[in-house]
Amino acid sequence: MVDNFDKIRSLLKFENEGDCYYVQLLRRQSDDPMTNGKPDPNYHGNMHSRSIKDYFVSSLDYFDQKKEEMKSLCDTFNVRAYIRLNKRNYQQISFAIMKHITEQLVSGQTFNSPFSLVASAAGNCNCAGKDKTWILDLDEEYVVYKQSIYEMIAECEPFKSEWEQFKLFCSNTALLQNGSWFKNYIENHFIEIPTKHGIHIISKPFNTATFKANWQAFVDKNCVTPPIPQNKLFGENKTVFSLTDTYLKHVNGFAGCLKNSIKNIADITTERLDDNKTIVTIVGAYDSKKLEELWRTYCVQAAYGMKCFDIHKDNPTILYVP
Q: Which runs of E-coded beta strand occur in 107-248?
A: 134-139, 191-195, 198-203, 230-234, 238-244
pTM of the shown model: 0.85
Q: Does a cis peptide bond (omega within 30 degrees of 0) precede residue 229?
A: no
Rounded Cα–Cα distance for residues 85 and 175 (Å): 32
pLDDT value of position 18: 95
Residue 110, CA distances (Å) to 48, 95, 107 in order: 18, 20, 9
Rounded Cα–Cα distance for residues 278 and 275 (Å): 8
Rounded Cα–Cα distance for residues 254 and 282 (Å): 12
Q: Which of 142, 98, 141 is nearest to 118 (CA)?
A: 98
Q: Is 306 helix (H, G, I), strand (E, B) or coil?
A: coil
Sheet holding 198-203, edge to edge: 191-195, 198-203, 134-139, 310-312
Looking at the DSSP assignment, which residues form a beta bridge with residue 51? 26
Query: In this predicted model, what pLDDT tens digit does every residue of 48-90 receive, in sequence order?
Result: 567 889 999 999 999 999 999 999 999 999 899 999 999 999 9
Rounded Cα–Cα distance for residues 313 and 172 (Å): 36
Average pLDDT score over residue span 8-20: 95
Q: 255 or 184: which carries more pLDDT confidence? A: 255
Residue 31 has pLDDT above 70, yes or no: no
Average pLDDT score over residue span 230-253: 91
Triad 42, 48, 50: Cα angle to 5°: 20
Query: In this predicted model, what pLDDT tens digit does every residue of 170-206 receive, in sequence order?
Result: 666 555 555 566 777 888 899 999 999 999 999 999 9
Contact 203, 14 (CB under 8 A): no
pLDDT band at 290 (very low <50, low <70, confident <90, very high): very high
**Minimum mean pLDDT range among 31-35, 45-49, 96-100, 308-312:** 45-49
Residue 285 has pLDDT above 60, yes or no: yes
Mean pLDDT of the chain: 89
Q: Determine what percent of the chain is predicted with pLDDT higher than 70.
A: 90
β-strands 19-26, 80-83 pairing: antiparallel
pLDDT value of position 33: 65
Contact 267, 284 (CB under 8 A): yes
pLDDT value of position 47: 59
Hey, what domains does the chain have and what are their CATH numbers?
A: 2-130+315-321 (no CATH), 131-225 (no CATH), 230-301 (3.30.1360.10)
Residue 250 has pLDDT above 90, yes or no: yes
Q: Determine what percent of the chain is predicted with pLDDT higher than 90.
A: 67
Residue 260 has pLDDT above 70, yes or no: yes
Q: Is 246 helix (H, G, I), strand (E, B) or coil?
A: helix
Looking at the DSSP assignment, which residues form a beta bridge with residue 194? 199
